[in-house]
Amino acid sequence: MKNVVIVGGGILGLSCTYYLQTSGSAHVTLLEAGTFAAATTSQAAALLTRARSDVNDGLMVDESHRMIKHFEHTFQQTFMHRNGCIHIANQGDSFQQELAALQMHQQQGKQRGIESYWLNAKEIQQQLPWLHIKNESLALFYPDDGHADPYLLANFYRQAAKQAGAALHQGIRVKQLLESGNRVVGVRSESNHDWLADAVIIAAGPWSSILAAQHQVKLAMAPIRSHYWITDNHNLLQPDHAMAISPTSKAYFRSENKGLLFGVRDSQTCIADPKELPLSQQDIHNHRFEQDEKGWLALEENWQSLIDICPLLETAQLNHYINGISSYTPDGLPLLGPCDQWRNLFFATGCSGAGIAWSGGIGRLLSEQVLAQKPFVNEGRYALNRFEQHFDTVDPMDENFRQQCARARSDKKTG
Ligand SMILES: Cc1cc2nc3c(=O)[nH]c(=O)nc-3n(C[C@H](O)[C@H](O)[C@H](O)COP(=O)(O)OP(=O)(O)OC[C@H]3O[C@@H](n4cnc5c(N)ncnc54)[C@H](O)[C@@H]3O)c2cc1C
């Protein structure tokens, strides 16, 4: 039986706890500085989309869908809204390119047994009467996709892990790792309590970089702004409408009851310095980026293409603006697994705006890695050291490197 300490009780720490504790081969102690799932996890729009061009990424998301079904069955509560997701190739200059990407996603999905089918412009319009769809546009529809409250999902990982015997602690901030030779042997809290462990997983969200840097591990990620808006209720919107992703408009849409939740991929490089991240969970919710405090620049930049596809935005009242932090890597894929410098030290972070959708896959992979089992995906794709040949400097404390990470967000095309 391995003793594992996990630092950070967001959705990723909780998911790792669940998989390891239910494996029967580990006892997990989870240490969370604040309260569970109250940091970036609670900010997510939580689109659980399965269109991926790589089979490994697809399997990661499929695992989350499998877990959600499992929790719905175990806890007798349906919490995922399975309204489907419509990926639109808009008539226009980039139509062929967008279509080719969708065809590739469909091909990929078929290998994983994922159902998707084509909609013509009329069919898209019927499903989403609040969008303006040009006659020659096409879309790929994933009927089983949807969204789920990220706080609830995290809480189900927590409940199931607790039932299986994991020790879950809130209000305990880890201040350092305990080293012995080239091994990590545990962690020390701010109140100088030590927890010894056979393996330690850092799943501390955007704060992971600071903890890692204290032990000479340079994580290839940066805290980048993610944000979205929610409109007031509108008579064209229904809670059961499918989600929509439009690469031309760099936007995604989903209904939030009878309002519209939408996000844009903007070119403002709103990057935080990891050393200046607010310490408390509450302050992360109040954090604003000086360059574009309320997101108006991002909206302005994309306004024309947004109202071209979604004319109701011209008159809708914007009721909420949610501005948060995601940890982006230069290729938009997470940082998962062991680090080269220290034995027994693992990371589950850098999830580039997709940590909710990937949570099941990440928990499963980390559990397999810690227990030295055969991984269900190609772990090298997410390895911590994969950028070393491509960049002169890989260092979250380096401003130029952080800019490279920001590019992964502005180039992002899927949900
Ligand atoms: C606006 C927005 C929209 C998003 N939309 C989506 C989406 O549609 N789909 C999707 O999949 N993802 C989305 N995401 C991304 C998703 O929210 C993240 O990928 C995910 O929440 C990351 O979870 P985490 O557990 O790594 O981090 P967090 O939830 O931030 O958890 C980290 C935890 O570590 C704790 N911690 C930190 N330091 C210490 C320490 N020293 N000791 C102990 N505990 C510590 C913190 O208190 C915190 O609770 C979005 C994010 C934002 C901001």
Instruction: List pLDDT tens digits, range 200-246.
Output: 999 999 999 999 999 999 999 999 999 999 999 999 999 999 999 99
Say yes or no: 154 and 142 in one domain.
Answer: no
Is residue 321 domain-resident? yes
Which one of 278, 297, 328 terminates a domain?
328
- Between 385 and 293, the higher pLDDT residue: 385
| CA 150 to centroid of ligand 1, rounded, Å | 10
* CA 207 remoteness from chain centre: 15
Rounded to the nearest 5 percent, the helix, strand and coil shares of the chain are 35, 25, 40
- Provide the pLDDT for residue 176: 97
Which one of 278, 310, 328 terminates a domain?
328
**Residue 114, token pair as written in the block:** 């994922």
Say yes or no: 173 and 43 in one domain.
Answer: yes
Say yes or no: 85 and 132 in one domain.
Answer: yes
Say yes or no: 244 and 214 in one domain.
Answer: no
**Residue 22, token pair as written in the block:** 């239910």
Please check whether residue 42 is in contact with residue 152, taking contact to mean a CB–CB distance below 8 angstroms: no
Using the predicted structure, report yes or no on whether residue 415 has a pLDDT greater than 60: no
Say yes or no: 307 and 380 in one domain.
Answer: no
Residue located nearest, by CA, to atom 18 of ligand 1: 355
> How many CB atoms sit inside 10 A of residue 191's CB?
9
- Provide the pLDDT for residue 281: 85
- CATH for 13: 3.50.50.60
Number of domains in the chain: 2
CB of residue 332 inside a 6 A radius of ligand 1: no
**Residue 188, token pair as written in the block:** 């020390």
Say yes or no: 237 and 138 in one domain.
Answer: yes
Domain span including residue 165: 2-50+150-219+330-393
Using the predicted structure, report yes or no on whether residue 413 has a pLDDT greater than 60: no
Instruction: List pLDDT tens digits, range 90-105.
Output: 998 899 999 999 999 9
| CA 388 to centroid of ligand 1, rounded, Å | 25
Say yes or no: 137 and 238 in one domain.
Answer: yes
Tell me which residue has tokens 């690469």. Answer: 247
| CA 318 to centroid of ligand 1, rounded, Å | 25
Say yes or no: 233 and 141 in one domain.
Answer: yes
* CA 180 remoteness from chain centre: 33
Q: Which of 389, 370, 408, 380 is nearest to 3 (CA)?
A: 370
Is residue 281 domain-resident? yes
Pairing of strands 251-256, 335-338: unpaired
Farthest CA pair distance, the chain: 66
**In whole angstroms, what is the distance from residue 129 CA to residue 196 CA?**
57
Contacts of 82 (CB under 8 A, 6+ apart): 143, 144, 145, 146
Contacts of 326 (CB under 8 A, 6+ apart): 40, 206, 223, 224, 225, 226, 351, 352, 353, 355, 409
Which one of 328, 362, 384 terminates a domain?
328
- CATH for 257: 3.30.9.10
